[in-house]
Structure 1
């Protein structure tokens, strides 16, 4: 099934000030999240941010927040976003929306969110090049586990071009420039 921009939302998991610097390849993960957010803005896909224990891990990275004005931000203590009542409600407010998941850490909050959402029958995709962990092997095992659970693992470019579907749409030029 292709990802439909009119039935999508992005969940940015815990891309926070004190956690992001510890992530293996963290700058690249932040960059891919930024591309997703810029494209989402171009094609009007809603964005949700989660923050794990903000007092200890800090706020969401300001450059990412700046790319998603008006986005909803939810603080949580649960590792799974889906286990948090407010986030669960936000993520399920429209039954047909596919949740595009990016962020950190792949083997904890991203994994638990994806597994719980999949178990609940929610359509989701995890963006492999936009998730990270402190250790590369933790990320790799998490992605393998998600695939084994039947979760769609995609790339940033897959998401963008599935949202566009055609080079004839007006958003093609600004979105395609994001990956050059």
Structure 2
């Protein structure tokens, strides 16, 4: 091999190893781990959404506030990926004399789904269940599980009446 061929071979090798790498950016719009969607309804008319005044949500045992206080009829919350349960404290009328907190535990089976090298994994949650801890003055009156699997955020997974 002459000198020109060696340089051509070396340049080709460098181009192939450095110039043709896969793009490791996760494309926008790729599904990621979904949030749990909860809608709040009126117990007297279960077809009508009912806003929760000054709702504040925080994880049980944590001081930082996850959301609120805000008046909403739908919330989207993350579930823990390293456990099979997540516990939240939902506080209605936050900051007022009528403040009332309910503790709610969500249990599920986390299921890892491989997406691709750039995006990694997402977690789907199966066998969703919910328990409202009873106290002397629960403001969440009842719960209905609409979807037992949390795989997307397009529709509600749970309805609460209050």
Structure whose alpha-carbon radius of gyration is higher: 2
TM-score (norm 2): 0.26
TM-score (norm 1): 0.25
- Return the structure number with greater relative CO, CA threshold 8 A, min gap 6: 1
Q: Which has the higher helix share?
A: 1
